[in-house]
Structures are given as structure tokens and as C-alpha cells.
Amino acid sequence: MHLRPFRPDDLQTLYEIDQACFVPVISYTREELTGFIGHRHSQTWVAEENAEIAGFLIAHREPRKILHIVTIDVLKAWRRGGVGSLLMEAAEQWARDHDMRMIGLEVAHDNLSAQKFYAARGYRKVNEIEHYYADGSTAWAMVKELP
């Protein structure tokens, strides 16, 4: 498994992975994904093995030295094999290299596996955001301060 930067011809595959990873109120449209990935303050890492994309992560640099994880998606068949950790390590290293002070993200209230994944990496819940998703459901904001 290795990481590489996004290439424009990845878009359809990343869209399909995002659709497979999230219910429709959370998954992004193609236009949203294109906008996030193409933003000048964004970074996208693609995890690939033998030319098969297993997952990806989009992060966005916010003001006040915060890196925001827009999404991290690992295909079901590849989960619990360290792909998510590889992607998060890349984002966290980028954040440290760019003098960020914190990484933040939102995770659905009922997404316990992702909450465990983040907690295992040192993220803590700081705030419950009601009506965060289009169906009115709640998200947790989680953060990790960087040394």
C-alpha cells in the first residue's frame, strides 16, 4: 500500500468510494468532491495498491493553523488493515510540517467505529453539533492538538 497525490482521473473512483462509505445525507456530490479537492488550501492523499484505490483523505487548511479533515474513506474490503492510519499519518505529518497547531473533524453521532478510530489516534470530542447533517442528525466535533 502506498500513498500518492490525487490525479484528475481519480475523481470518478473517489466519488464511488465516498458513495459506498457514507449514507446519502453524508456522502458528497461529484461537484462537492471536485470543489473540496480542487481548493487551493486542500490536500488529498490517495491510498493505492497494485493500481487499485483503497481509500483517500481530503484535508483543508483553515485559518488559525487548523487542519480540517474533510473526509477519510476506506473501502470496506480494506478496513482494519492500517489504510486509514496511513492516510491520517500523512495528514498529521503534513500538518506538523506546515506548523499547524490542531487537527479538527466532524463525525456522525452514530459512527462509532470512526469515533474509535479517531480516539485511538488521540482525538477527543469537544462539541456536539446538532442538525449538522442534511437529515438533521448530530455530529461530534473532534480535535487533536499537535505538539
Residues in contact with ligand COA by CB under 6 A are 21, 72-74, 79-85, 105, 107, 111, 113-114, 116-117, 120
What is the side-by-side order of every strand in the sheet holding 102-108? 2-5, 42-49, 52-62, 66-74, 102-108, 139-145, 124-129
- Cα separation, 106 vs 104, in Å, equals 7
Q: Which residue is nearest to ligand COA, using beta carbons? A: 84
Between the alpha carbon of residue 75 and those of residues 14, 29, 84, 107, 146, the distances in Å are: 10, 18, 10, 17, 28
Q: Which amino acid is at 41?
A: H
Q: Which is nearer to ligand COA, 99 or 117 (CB)?
A: 117
Q: Which is nearer to ligand COA, 14 or 99 (CB)?
A: 14
- Which residue, among 40, 45, 43, 41, has the nearest Cα to 10 in the 3D structure? 45
Q: Which is nearer to ligand COA, 30 or 40 (CB)?
A: 30
Q: How far is the CB of 124 from ligand COA (least distance, A)?
A: 15
Dihedral Cα 10, 144, 25, 71, nearest 10 deg: 0
Q: How far is the CB of 76 from ligand COA (least distance, A)?
A: 8
Q: How far is the CB of 64 from ligand COA (least distance, A)?
A: 21
Q: Which is nearer to ligand COA, 10 or 99 (CB)?
A: 10
Q: Which is nearer to ligand COA, 62 or 99 (CB)?
A: 62
Q: How far is the CB of 114 from ligand COA (least distance, A)?
A: 4
The alpha carbon of 14 is separated from its chain's Cα centroid by a whole number of angstroms, namely 12
Q: How far is the CB of 9 from ligand COA (least distance, A)?
A: 22
